[in-house]
Structure 1
């Protein structure tokens, strides 16, 4: 069985958690837009300074996951998540306060971005292990669909809301909206009163790098990790060259380009909402494979799109919509599968190991994207990135994954070595 219906209606605790998470997700999108604008519009920063702030925000995803996962494994996650939200609220409140006091600077923004990013790693690592304890296992896919749906909706509407707030309040004051959103998230987590199971007793022999072991040794986690890491690296190659190829080489209007890209978010939201229905209709493994056919297969067409102007934008939008649809489905199914097959006494460590690998390859993808684009041209780089995304599906074509009727079936040992790949 994939899920029980009506989780948000009948589960008060999850409803509170989800409400706080939804507000926070929108706030995060506001900061993603507003913080660089603070640097550009308020401090008149150049590209290098904006890049330094972005790098500071990303670094915690590479530095801290394994340590955080190790430290949280033997702690109750709820209180840690509340503390992380409060920390993020206080950190982001520094930006408007510093602006009003006249002491705002690029180094201060970089420090805030880094520390808020670190608190985000703590929250996300704890949340990965907290949600499976908050709802019954039969409701886990529905819980993940709700969480992913909020996140996708925020990615669609959040930048627009951020733009309105920046215009009305100015970029520095707009960051205060994200600070308030983390307070709302903390209230939502605190209001979820379902008792959290006692954490496992500390293993004195465990080391912080043990979070990498399950993602390497468990065949399902290994396949998911190799797929996600390869996809992320290839997506970087693809995405950083797409704007050059479409706007500079093909002469597409920047407004039409942005509108076409937004179709991806619409597709992802539709896919997120359809994920569980598709899993019931086709079986979990076949639904996953179908989703990957959209998310990694359709982008292969983008480097070959004909036409100019509105026609080119329309073709790009259709590709983005279809790819986003598949990605929305895959994100829900992947998250649930990882939570179910991860060792129960090592959920945070396993989630942290997975996070480290799939985020750690992103700088490499950016470097490769720049190298390929500058030497072979943006069209070749777009094609290479889309080919890499398609190749990322290979680990997911093993028969044990395709044959999953439900995510719980992945707990049964299956001989991957004897399985034939998809034809």
Structure 2
């Protein structure tokens, strides 16, 4: 790039004027809204219409997440070889077809719980590839200076969808049956694919000559995650918190819909108001990070989110339904806020410090570690829910969530005002970014 051309440098251009980003952003916003309709419809359909047991609810959650454990690692190596936008488009179309099958089976009178297992598994597998490509696509689409801003905008609109989707779903369930909402989710995935097709980028496929055996490329991505002094701690914390959280949230639909009898509208209200907290977290993440430090905010939010999940089992022992509803709403708002701030900061750091050629494998390795534990937790939650009860299962999850914060709470992140922004090719951060002196934000 010449000196004369820097005036037109896209890094200096606002993302609001970046047509490719705004097209991508609009498609993801519409896709997220449709997907949120289905997020409410699936537990309602399973619990209220198919009368699923606690263990069946656990199996359903596990089916949707099993792909992160089964194909999470090779997905990263494949995504690094493929065009990321094309990968996301294909995944959207597969998810659309699977979701559209649910109302068809329902209207034909043949829908059974195992059909939902199959649909969840197909959607989960496609989501693995979509999410790995999605997290690796932002640095391809926008300059590095705008990565945090882009992540914040995308998360903000995702949270708006999580507000409007469950609210609309809860209202619609008063007049239509749950399977109808799957039509809305299928439409959301279709719109996402259409807008992705209209997005333009300059990415080219990795040359075939540069490819190595799949196991070698997978090992390289895992090695980067394990050896990085910050990413390894974040992966350990997030994985532990996800396992513990799934013990709680797998049983939450049973608690809300069956034990507390708050109905689909109550479930939709809880999800909607919880998403308000997430929206605030997405919007305020840069300000919170500037206020208390980019690194410090990660352990702070990890501990805070663990405190908020403790309110869920407490809601299960309160005798007054209105008080239970208040506890669940407060829990969801606080949890949504703290988790979104945590996610935006740690994801931005990962994208900034990882060499571009390793982005897909790094993200897949992280997803394998932190999402791969979730189907195991969902099965454990279903088993424990049937044998020791919902509240004891949730209390175990809350205790585990606090313990999982240790890797980031007792790490350099706790006193780090600025997260690393540069890497050597081997993925090890420059030494000064881990300095505990004034530049690292101590005191």
User: How would you bin the TM-score normalised by the shorter chain?
Assistant: 0.7 to 0.9
**Deviation (angstroms), 1:94:** 3.2
Q: Which residue of 2 aligns with 1:390?
A: 402
**Are 2:144 and 1:127 equivalent residues in the alignment?**
no
**Are 2:73 and 1:66 equivalent residues in the alignment?**
yes
Counterparts of residues 15-414 of structure 1 (less than 5 Å): 15-35=22-42, 44=50, 46-47=52-53, 52-99=59-106, 104=111, 106-166=113-173, 168-196=175-203, 198-199=205-206, 202-207=210-215, 209-210=218-219, 211-239=221-249, 254=262, 258=267, 263-299=273-309, 309=320, 310-311=322-323, 313-315=325-327, 317-366=329-378, 369=381, 381-409=393-421, 411=423, 412-414=429-431
Q: 1:238 to 1:118 in 2, by over 3 A?
A: closer
Q: 1:120 to 1:304 in 2, by over 3 A?
A: closer
Q: Which residue of 1 aligns with 2:8?
A: none
Unaligned runs of 5+ in 1: none
TM-score by length of 2: 0.79
Distance 1:172 1:378 in 2: 27
> Helix, strand or coil for the counterpart of 2:206?
coil
Distance 1:247 1:234 in 2: 21
**Deviation (angstroms), 1:323:** 3.2
Count of residues in correspondence between the two structures? 416
Distance 2:381 2:48 in 1: 28
**Deviation (angstroms), 1:192:** 1.7
**Deviation (angstroms), 1:165:** 4.1
**Deviation (angstroms), 1:274:** 0.5
Distance 1:169 1:219 in 2: 51
**Deviation (angstroms), 1:143:** 1.1
Which stretch has the larger CA shift, 198-207 or 184-193?
198-207
Q: Is the 8 A contact 1:73 1:347 kept in 2?
A: yes
**Deviation (angstroms), 1:286:** 2.2
Q: Is the 8 A contact 1:214 1:343 kept in 2?
A: no
